Structure 1
């Protein structure tokens, strides 16, 4: 029976009433969205109501239970790009200078704004910490310097509105690092739910990718090759997401037991399979680099396993080898680039042609694609062109600080040679090192900094590693 005393009856009745109202609202919203979708109305007619309701609900959760808010955000963020208001294919690589699929009213953009506001407010409420309780200063200082360089680039931006949007993306990445580090510093038990949410975020993209490959629905045609995008807007973004989560998963497999290990293994296998289907060569190479780093730092058997898996994939999926076969030819008989690598070199030369206009602060974040009709496809060149020499140095400093944070975490979790014990902190340190190595490689030929969702999850790993490597801290 439900108690009816004044001590319990009213709270219980309030909870039940709230659940009824929430359930009825969810049903009504689902019916409305289904009817609008079936009528062939624009995507905004059914996406916007859902996004607004979700934003309102998450705002309440953020105010009352911030950790739960962050867990929900991490679990759903990887699926939100599928709900962009623009039609499929309206990406920056569509050419013609058309706007990207990103919009301030997209669910993903609304979530980013909500997270930045809630995260900053939460950090302010926590107040300052004693010096001895703070993490190693390299990454926080590099992060603030990089953000300052991004703000500085606004002075010379040729499209300030676009640049402000890009600066907000950088801000979300940096806030995520600081929020995660502070959360785990106050309660190490929060690390498990945060990691669980990150890994849970990989389930829907993997399932959607498999559906697209099996049915042929949702594939995109890029240079005559049909490729899946999962819940993202480009196969490369899907590949970057897959290898980021997969590398950390491989590192943690050695440090979890029971059902969690089985579930993690299945997820890693699914991410690896989805990665293969993307036909994203840069993501393949970055994934291999990251896994090899994990194997070198943790267990050399991982290296042997990686070699065996690569060999098996090459034999079982001939199209993988075919993706590299055209690299031997540079130009076609008609004078066109024979492959995307040659095109990238030509594109980078064209991109650097924008630099003389403002070599100190660049032409503004996010503006290169407006003049080139394509993304830069190299984060180092992009940093130089869009934020100038100042921005490039700050970007390199941030990358170096990420490696320093990884090194500090590795040192804090070091074990005597030959001693193997299950230690999730060690797995996180090793996995983060592999992710940073993959990130540095991927940045050579991809737009990893513009893959917001990937950067969020990398920021989570950075925050965890930053706390593990904090000076004077005993490994939990």
Structure 2
């Protein structure tokens, strides 16, 4: 006899059976991993079984509960770089290049799984009526950016490396489209998605504070000990922190009760972790983002920012020391006196690679192989690694992200008699501010294919794309 199931529970039985099926091998793999760790086995022998168990479980969840799958992915992604099979010391430069990353890293496996599941899910959803589709500017821009990335493969000096970078860009694009479609079909999914995004910050914050308090896990960069949290480099941690901090500040005005308290604590934790990174570029990007929030939402944000900055300068005078070396360009021995001068010199060296293939570039990800250093500037990187076509596509993407978020801001413009608390308004303002911060960060950091940062930018872009859909515009 076939058991009767209510219409709303048809997928629960497959999910439960699937979890039972994967739990047996998962337990076995976990036990094997524990034994390997206790016996002093390699990092691969310890991490890989756990990664495989996680992948098996997530496949089942993706098939039966795609929204839950996305929530899990967002909640855990920011903590997965700490499980890479290569050691931090294996990176090729002080910018955290992924020289020894493996296809079997949990983060790589999760990325591949998300790309596959996201593509299948989008195909299954089918086309929507024209009236239900978002404004085409951002989808067209992301398609052009992906096309330029594919084009860079033609002249790549390291096709395998470039293919990996193209996949990272593809995951970013799929995230935007998936989030927009999910919340368009059901607006109730917005809150769980945001909760997952901010929940992802808990472990990185706690790990960063642990590193700062105990001194364990700090990395020595030019004589300065800095925390990396769950990331590969302090700058990557800083980029993650400013992204969520800026959106968190924008949302604080539009949540209440326990949610407001929890979000405030997270924002404070992100601020503390950001300060600890010593990443000047991330600090400046955060300031730009918060100022944009204040200009669009409430000028008191800017006043509060001024108070916070003054308090930090008094309580942590070492912050000023991070900028003191900018007054000197070169040391007496002829070396760069600070990382900004080093970056400028490095950009000039990288531009020397462009004449070899000015149209499609040297291929994404090849600069660190050719010059043994990351680019530390996404605009120069787009030009050198994907040519003039790539640079135009990247600038066009940033412009489309901004215009999409600006359209959302207009669609949620406060009206007379409307409630002051409007989550869509907070998301729209935060999305504009995050794009502004990203545009600034791209001047000195490597964020274009930084999955652990760009996925969250993509979530905010997808939410803003839904909010600013043509049917919601006010003008």
Partner of 1:403: 402
CA shift at 1:14, angstroms? 9.7
State the distance in 2 between where 1:162 and 1:451 align.
14
Partner of 2:210: 211
Partner of 1:88: 88
Partner of 1:103: 102
State the distance in 2 between where 1:187 and 1:13 align.
23
Q: Residues 58 and 69 of structure 1 are in contact (CA less than 8 Å); yes or no, is this contact kept in structure 2?
A: yes
State the distance in 1 between where 2:261 and 2:356 align.
55
* SS state at 2:225 partner: strand
1:287 aligns with 2:293: no
Partner of 1:55: 55
Alignment map for 1:353-368 (pairs within 5 Å):
353-368=352-367
* SS state at 1:221 partner: strand
* SS state at 1:93 partner: coil
Q: Residues 89 and 233 of structure 1 are in contact (CA less than 8 Å); yes or no, is this contact kept in structure 2?
A: no
Q: Deviations over 1:286-328 (max 9, x none)?
A: 0000000001110100001111111111111111110000000
Question: Is there any run of 5+ residues in structure 2 with no aligned partner, and where?
Answer: none
State the distance in 2 between where 1:320 and 1:248 align.
24
CA shift at 1:87, angstroms? 1.1
Partner of 1:307: 306
Q: Residues 169 and 449 of structure 2 are in contact (CA less than 8 Å); yes or no, is this contact kept in structure 1?
A: no
State the distance in 2 between where 1:340 and 1:191 align.
40
CA shift at 1:401, angstroms? 0.2
1:45 aligns with 2:56: no
State the distance in 2 between where 1:425 and 1:22 align.
38
Call closer, same or farther: CA 1:345–1:17 in 2, change over 3 Å: closer
CA shift at 1:99, angstroms? 6.1
1:451 aligns with 2:462: no
Call closer, same or farther: CA 1:6–1:460 in 2, change over 3 Å: closer
State the distance in 2 between where 1:43 and 1:320 align.
36
Q: TM-score if structure 1 supplies the norm length?
A: 0.94
Q: Deviations over 1:53-82 (max 9, x none)?
A: 111110111111100000000000001000
State the distance in 2 between where 1:306 and 1:70 align.
33
* SS state at 2:268 partner: helix
Call closer, same or farther: CA 1:323–1:167 in 2, change over 3 Å: same
Q: Residues 153 and 388 of structure 1 are in contact (CA less than 8 Å); yes or no, is this contact kept in structure 2?
A: yes
State the distance in 1 between where 2:22 and 2:59 align.
15
CA shift at 1:277, angstroms? 0.3
State the distance in 1 between where 2:360 and 2:154 align.
7
- Report the RMSD for the aligned CA atoms in angstroms: 2.3
Partner of 1:472: 471
Partner of 1:382: 381
Partner of 1:114: 113
State the distance in 1 between where 2:470 and 2:52 align.
42
Call closer, same or farther: CA 1:110–1:311 in 2, change over 3 Å: same
State the distance in 1 between where 2:18 and 2:139 align.
41
State the distance in 2 between where 1:436 and 1:410 align.
13
Partner of 1:266: 265
State the distance in 1 between where 2:235 and 2:189 align.
31
Partner of 1:372: 371
Q: Residues 149 and 390 of structure 2 are in contact (CA less than 8 Å); yes or no, is this contact kept in structure 1?
A: yes
CA shift at 1:402, angstroms? 0.5
State the distance in 1 between where 2:106 and 2:186 align.
30
CA shift at 1:41, angstroms? 1.4
Q: Residues 15 and 61 of structure 2 are in contact (CA less than 8 Å); yes or no, is this contact kept in structure 1?
A: no
Structure 1 range deviating more: 404-413 or 35-44: 35-44
CA shift at 1:166, angstroms? 0.4
State the distance in 2 between where 1:383 and 1:145 align.
13
CA shift at 1:37, angstroms? 1.7
Structure 1 range deviating more: 28-37 or 114-123: 28-37
State the distance in 1 between where 2:16 and 2:126 align.
36
* SS state at 1:226 partner: strand
Question: Is there any run of 5+ residues in structure 1 with no aligned partner, and where?
Answer: none
CA shift at 1:40, angstroms? 2.1
Call closer, same or farther: CA 1:317–1:56 in 2, change over 3 Å: same
State the distance in 1 between where 2:244 and 2:341 align.
29
Q: Deviations over 1:108-150 (max 9, x none)?
A: 1111111011101100011111111111111000000010011
State the distance in 2 between where 1:350 and 1:122 align.
44
1:425 aligns with 2:424: yes
Q: Residues 412 and 468 of structure 1 are in contact (CA less than 8 Å); yes or no, is this contact kept in structure 2?
A: yes
State the distance in 2 between where 1:13 and 1:363 align.
51
Q: TM-score if structure 2 supplies the norm length?
A: 0.94
State the distance in 1 between where 2:180 and 2:17 align.
37
State the distance in 1 between where 2:13 and 2:168 align.
42
Q: Residues 79 and 205 of structure 1 are in contact (CA less than 8 Å); yes or no, is this contact kept in structure 2?
A: yes
1:335 aligns with 2:326: no
